């Protein structure tokens, strides 16, 4: 596995200049993030609610479409067709499907050395010390770490949760699922510690990701003690 990771790292070539500290995200996600983008060196946690995988992929879509190299680890059933439909460039999106749990932190650390964004599904019972080391590694390397399937992660600048997923397209026992609305909550820490809420098409009828209200961002912000 170490040889394969080195080969992937050799082929990854970050396209953003070192001075560009903010990676773009889709318009519908901008106001859910304190900086309206993914700040290099930061870590984001995405909880395991409904449509959490779609939200995690949506966070990667903006950087990927802009030319960044991104990677995923720990998701053997990840739908690459769905990722491509969202706009992720699969030629710059390698997947390390199922590393052994004991090797997961090492694999993620190696990917953080080479990629702009690393999307990682944490194994059960991830040790807090391992999480802290990866947060520090992302900060040191200037990468963005998105950890999925965890409710809390020490050092994460934003925690996302998804609720109330509602599919459209089914009639009276028949039809085809065409779109899904999801309520998204984002809570930051420290100076970014405000709760932001939005209802998103995740995805919409044309596979795009938009805020439900006319495709325009409608984010409700409240003060949150974090």
Write down all domains in the chain, each with its CATH number in brackets: 21-223 (3.40.50.300)
Mean pLDDT, all residues of the chain: 84
- Pair 130, 140: CB distance under 8 Å: no
Residue 209 pLDDT > 70, yes or no? yes
Instruction: Please report which helix (H) or strand (E) contains residue 161, including its range.
Output: strand 158-170
- Pair 209, 58: CB distance under 8 Å: yes
Per-residue pLDDT tens for 59-98? Answer: 999 999 999 999 999 998 898 998 998 899 999 999 999 9
Residue 11's pLDDT is what? Answer: 54
Instruction: Name which residue leads in pLDDT, 5 or 159.
Output: 159
Query: In Å, how far from its chain's centre is CA 226?
Result: 21
Residue 224's pLDDT is what? Answer: 44
Rounded to whole angstroms, the Cα distance separating 58 from 179 reads 15
Residue in the structure block whose two tokens are 């420290």: 190
What does the DSSP 8-state code read for residue 122?
Answer: P
Q: What share of the chain in percent tops pLDDT 70? A: 80
Q: Look at residue 111 and give its three-state secondary structure.
A: helix
Q: How confident is the model at residue 102 (pLDDT cuts 50, 70, 90)?
A: very high
Per-residue pLDDT tens for 122-172? Answer: 998 888 999 999 999 999 999 999 999 887 788 999 999 999 988 886 655
């Amino acid at each position: 596995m170490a040889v394969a990771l080195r080969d992937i790292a050799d082929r990854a070539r970050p396209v953003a200049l070192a001075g560009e500290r903010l990676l773009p995200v889709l318009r519908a996600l901008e106001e859910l993030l304190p900086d309206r983008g993914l700040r290099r060196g930061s870590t984001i946690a995405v909880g395991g609610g409904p449509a959490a995988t779609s939200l995690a992929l949506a966070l990667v879509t903006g950087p990927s479409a802009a030319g960044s190299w991104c990677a995923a680890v720990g998701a053997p059933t990840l739908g690459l067709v769905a990722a491509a439909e969202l706009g992720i460039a699969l030629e710059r999106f390698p997947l390390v499907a199922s590393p052994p749990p004991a090797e997961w932190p090492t694999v993620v650390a190696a990917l953080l050395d080479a990629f702009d964004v690393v999307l990682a599904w944490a194994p059960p019972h991830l040790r807090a010390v391992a999480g802290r080391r990866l947060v520090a590694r992302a900060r040191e390397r200037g990468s963005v770490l998105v950890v999925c399937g965890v409710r809390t992660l020490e050092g994460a600048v934003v925690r996302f949760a998804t609720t109330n997923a509602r599919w459209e397209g089914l009639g009276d026992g028949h039809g085809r699922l065409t779109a899904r609305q999801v309520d998204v909550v984002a809570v930051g820490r420290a100076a970014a510690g405000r709760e932001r809420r939005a209802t998103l098409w995740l995805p919409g009828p044309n596979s795009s990701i938009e805020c439900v209200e006319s495709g325009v961002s409608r984010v409700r912000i409240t003060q949150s003690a974090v």
